[in-house]
Amino acid sequence: MLFHSFKKRVVFDNMIRKNIIDLIKYFIVALVAAIVNIGMLYVFTDLCAISYLISNVFAFILGLITNYTLSKLFVFKNDKLNKMIEFIIYALIGVIGLGIDTLSLWVFTSKLNIYYLISKIIATGVTFIWNFGARKLLYAMINKE
């Protein structure tokens, strides 16, 4: 009985440790993608004179591609799913993230009068939580099969 409890505890501890390591790796990947995303938002908005909401869509897509590529290399490894299907699912999660990100950006900028780049940083943090949770759940479901 004691050995069984110990074994369960070790398995649980390893699962927690793996999730924390995945979260740290995903945070680093998301940070790089956020730099691309926010940097391109600035370029499109200030240098190309495109509306910040339209710029956000293009910048978000570039950040999504960066995030997908780096996540595949360093965080969420999966060989069970066709790469095209995996990217489509990943992109669908990203589209929901884009909605969360753009809505947050609009609320913080237009309604709360926060400078759009500061709003973007806050919106990126909100979107990070959705993206990590949804992708972690996706890969947990895939890897169970």
Q: Model confidence over 68-85: pLDDT tens digits? A: 889 888 876 666 667 777
Distance CA 93, CA 88 (A): 9
Quick one: pLDDT at residue 1? 54
Residue-wise pLDDT tens digits, 3-62: 556 566 666 677 788 878 888 888 899 899 999 999 999 999 999 999 999 999 999 999
Quick one: pLDDT at residue 143? 67
Cα 90 → chain centroid: 10
Quick one: pLDDT at residue 112? 97
DSSP state of 79: S
